[in-house]
Chains A and B, each alone.
Chain A
Amino acid sequence: MNKREYTIALAGNPNTGKSTLFNVLTGLRQHTGNWPGKTVIHAEGFFTYKNEEYRIIDLPGTYSLYSNSADEEVARDFIIFSKPDVTLVVLDATALERNLNLALQVLEMTDRVIICLNLMDEAKKKGIVIDIANLSKKLGVPVVPLAARNKEGIEELLETVARMVHGEINTTPLVVAYSRAIEEKIAKLLPLVKEVVGEEYPARWVALRLLDGDTSLLHALQHHPHHFLKEGATYACHCAKSV
């Protein structure tokens, strides 16, 4: 009997109630420290749902994942290299447009995404109505409305997470269409990217980052940030390899 633990990453802008959700999910089963070699707070916790163990990592709150800062780099590296089973992107329902930018970037990196539309209570008060089904269809991933501080929507979220880790949900993440010039460059770069970095990483996204002149990413790809893997066999990618 090999009981595995699922890894969940929690991403989102600051001030979206990301930490509230983290606290609601984990209760007191959490600890904080530093990301190895970085002065960025690392918080992780655990919870059990339907007899299965989940490990959840609260990524630093960021507005983008372009590695402008140590925070963004940590969040980006975790999603890319640790390949969490599910990445939850917490969005502020009262400021959806601004918050979606981050969600779109995450969707470029992984297809195992659930959108947590938090602060729904606040949005309702402000008369903001969001067509959840349509939003989910457009983004191509599940969207769960939440009011984390009132503990509303948590059950549905957990159920969605469980279904996703068991492969019961098929996602077709939205592909952001860039300008013709950029799309052409991506097309030129794509074969080479696939050849060099392999199928393990989202090639289109890597190509975009390269066009953006992001040298830190290529450096990271080349030298595999070992600290992300070393932390233990609990990571999904590790388990898969060691089995």
Chain B
Amino acid sequence: MRATVPNPFDELMEHAKRLTDGDTREQIVASIFQTSRQICQETVTYTKQEKRYETEKLDRIFTSKIWGFPIMLAMLAVVIYITIAGANVPSSLLAEFFGWLEGYITLLFQQLHAPSWLHGILVLGLYRGTTWVVSVMLPPMAIFFPIFALLENYGYLPRVAFNMDRLFKKSGAHGKQSLTMAMGFGCNAAAIMSTRIIESPRERMLAILTNNFVPCNGRWPTLILLASLFMAAGYTGGWKTFATASVVVAMVVFGIIVTLTVSWILSKTALRGVPTHYTLELPPYRRPKIWDTIVRSTLDKSVYVLKRAVTVAAPAGVLTWVLANIHVGDTTVLAYSAQLLDPFARQLGLDGYILLAFILGLPANEIVVPILLMGYLSTGALIEVDGLHSLKQIFLDHGWTWLTALNMMLFSLLHYPCGTTLVNIYKETKSKKWTFLSFAIPTAIAIVVTFTTAHLVQWFGLL
């Protein structure tokens, strides 16, 4: 029936098509722009000419071909330096406080004649896992993110995107990927959602698959901790912080290089195509409400960290404690699994416990180090972890060298995304294949890189 009656809509479209020519859009846009300009000329006056081109002047510096990148790196270094320098004291204060509290909780359990397994699960598992996450994660996050938010609100972040745009284009990706990458510093799971700003499915997939290569919330502290314990060991005072910051910055830069390389390889193979054009608007620089920004982002992040600590770290702490205390023969399930993984892990310059911690840490990267510590401590005499100094001793007791620390940092930076992120990737792509690939590609890279590093160092006899 329908086919016989000509559709009036189609007819209209046909009619319009006959009238139109190639540059109609340009003409329309030109008239609109012209009208806007005219209206402004008649309604807007500038009383401070020198302020009029402030943004342009600043942009000439911040997005300059020569200064753009050095300034970006310097900013990153300063942010990380402030984070590390500022987080040390509150971190150890919190750790001391929780240690002090644990003494009383243990006393309470003894008073109540609670069975030792209950004390084990609740205090040594749940309490320690949770308080670790809080004391190690909270201070750096409460410093890093407000600074980050300030830079964003000042309008610097779009300039970063502008600078990075060229690199991403060259690797066949979308310029906006640098923005989703920046989101990844906060949380990869949230960044996966933010890839929606990229229209083309191909480029969006690139952004999703490579987002994991920037360290998130849960991995910053691991990087900072290991860098300060092992990489900056030879320095003291301010230089120590500086050395730690340099190592962490190097890690971030390495992550970005991997992002670009993987994007490039994928855009030449599985996700072939030309990057689409887009206009990136550079909003004017403006001073944010400084206190508002700081207070809001600190609160946001604190709530976030605390929530994660309770929902993810607590159950994982319990699980790890249980695994470490169920005996099969004369060894525990945890120790047994670690032994099983050990030969492979050694090839990567790690050990069985580290790899096991990464596997058990799939739900959240925050809990990798606490699980690792629990694993280590369950094998030997139980030491009270009351500060960062004793931490290093635990690692050293288990045969760590700077190479172990370096490989763990690299593995942490490059390995598969956390469970939440994977769930989000599946939700966004609706594809099992791409979700699997976003697990497999980083994992393969992490294995190859750590394997190469471990063997190169041994080969050159650097250890």
Contacts and interface: CB of A to CB of B under 8 A. Distances in A.
A100 B46 contact: no
Contact of A131 (B13, B43, B199): B43
A188 B155 CA distance: 46
Interface in A181-202: 181-182, 185, 188-189, 192-193, 195-196
B289 interface: yes
Interface string A41-81: 10000000000000000000001001001100000000000
A174 B12 contact: no
Contacts of A135: 39, 43
Contacts of B42: 131, 134, 138
B199 A100 contact: no
A222 interface: yes
A192 B12 contact: yes
B33 A181 contact: no
A129 B44 contact: yes
Interface stretch (B213-221, B279-287, B315-323, B415-423): B279-287
Given A14-B283, A135-B43, A126 B48 contact: yes
Interface string B419-441: 00000000010000000000000
A100 B196 contact: no
B43 A138 contact: yes
Contact of A139 (B20, B39, B49, B281): B39
Interface in A11-51: 13-15, 39-41
B36 A104 contact: yes
Given A192-B15, A211-B19, A212-B28, A101 B44 contact: no
Contacts of A70: 199
B51 interface: yes
Nearest to B37: A97
Main secondary structure of the interface of A (DSSP, over half): helix
Given A101-B32, A130-B43, A63 B281 contact: yes
Given A127-B51, A135-B43, A185 B17 contact: no
B460 interface: no
Chain B interface, >50% SS class: helix
Interface in B166-207: 196, 199
A128 B16 contact: no
Contacts of B311: none
Interface in A75-105: 92, 94-98, 100-101, 104-105
Contacts of A174: 35
Contacts of B16: 189, 207, 210-211, 213
B224 to A, nearest CB: 32
A197 B78 CA distance: 59
Contacts of A66: 25
Interface in A214-236: 215, 218, 221-222
A127 B286 CA distance: 14
Given A39-B428, A179-B31, A196-B8, A213 B15 contact: no
Contacts of A139: 39
Interface string B20-58: 100011011001110111011011111111011010000
A189 B19 contact: yes
B45 A193 contact: no
Given A127-B48, A189-B19, A213-B17, A100 B39 contact: yes
Contacts of A39: 196, 428
Interface string A92-128: 1011111011001100000000000001001001111
Given A189-B16, A211-B20, A178 B31 contact: yes
B9 interface: yes
A121 to B, nearest CB: 10
B369 to A, nearest CB: 34
Contacts of A119: 286
A221 B24 CA distance: 21
Interface in B311-370: none
A238 interface: no
A130 B42 CA distance: 9
B132 to A, nearest CB: 33
Contact of B40 (A96, A178, A179, A188): A96
A1 interface: no
A57 B49 CA distance: 38
A23 to B, nearest CB: 11
A208 interface: yes
Contacts of B283: 14-15, 92, 95
A182 B43 contact: no
A69 B32 contact: no
Contact of B12 (A122, A210, A212, A213): A210
A97 B24 CA distance: 22
Contacts of A207: 16
A240 interface: no
A210 B196 CA distance: 28
A113 to B, nearest CB: 15
Interface in B268-315: 279, 281, 283-284, 286, 289
Nearest to B13: A218
Given A179-B27, A196-B9, A127 B46 contact: yes
15 contacts: A13-B281, A14-B283, A126-B48, A127-B46, A128-B44, A131-B44, A134-B42, A138-B39, A138-B43, A179-B31, A181-B27, A185-B19, A196-B8, A207-B16, A210-B20
Given A69-B199, A100-B39, 15 more contacts: A66-B25, A94-B284, A96-B40, A97-B36, A97-B44, A127-B52, A131-B44, A178-B27, A185-B19, A189-B12, A196-B12, A208-B28, A212-B20, A213-B25, A218-B9
- List 6 A-B pairs, minimum CB-CB distance, nearest first: A127-B48, A210-B16, A100-B36, A15-B283, A127-B47, A97-B40
Interface of A: 13-15, 39-41, 63, 66, 69-70, 92, 94-98, 100-101, 104-105, 119, 122, 125-131, 134-135, 138-139, 149, 174, 176-179, 181-182, 185, 188-189, 192-193, 195-196, 207-208, 210-213, 215, 218, 221-222
